[in-house]
């Protein structure tokens, strides 16, 4: 399945994480259809897609979102080199 690229529909700090997950970990992203939320699909299809906030949110929301990505097998931050 081809992935959309994240754009201005999501806040910048979210965009950076999404682009990394698409480019290096096989995750896919789907822009919102209609009035819904964008979705980030884990590489492992056993995990349900994670919705992405559309407006700048608190640090706590970002933290909760990152934790959900890590829980579903996503690797962030990028590994040390």
Give the whole-angstrom CA distance, residue 20 versus residue 13. Answer: 11
Q: How far is the CB of 56 from other proteins (least distance, A)?
A: 12
In terms of residues, how long is the chain? 81
Q: How open is the CA angle 65-70-74, to the nearest 5 degrees?
A: 110
- Give min distance, CB of 8 to other proteins, in A: 19
Return the half-sphere exposure (C-beta side, CA atoms, 13 A cut-off) of residue 18: 28
Rounded CA-CA distance 14/6 in Å is 9
* Complex with other proteins: residue 5 or 44, whichever CB lies closer: 44
Closest approach of Cβ 13 to other proteins, in Å?
Answer: 12
- Please report, as ranges, the residues that interact with other proteins according to CB under 8 A: 35-37, 39, 45-51, 53, 57-61, 63-68, 70-72, 74-80
**Which C-beta is closer to other proteins: that of 8 or that of 80?**
80
């Amino acid at each position: 399945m081809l992935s959309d690229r994240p754009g201005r529909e999501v806040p910048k700090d979210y965009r950076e994480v999404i682009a990394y997950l698409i480019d290096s970990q096989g995750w896919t992203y789907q822009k919102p259809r209609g009035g819904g939320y964008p979705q980030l699909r884990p590489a492992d299809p056993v995990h349900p897609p994670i919705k992405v906030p559309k407006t700048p949110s608190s640090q706590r929301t970002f933290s909760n979102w990152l934790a959900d990505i890590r829980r579903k097998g996503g690797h962030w931050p990028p590994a040390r080199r």
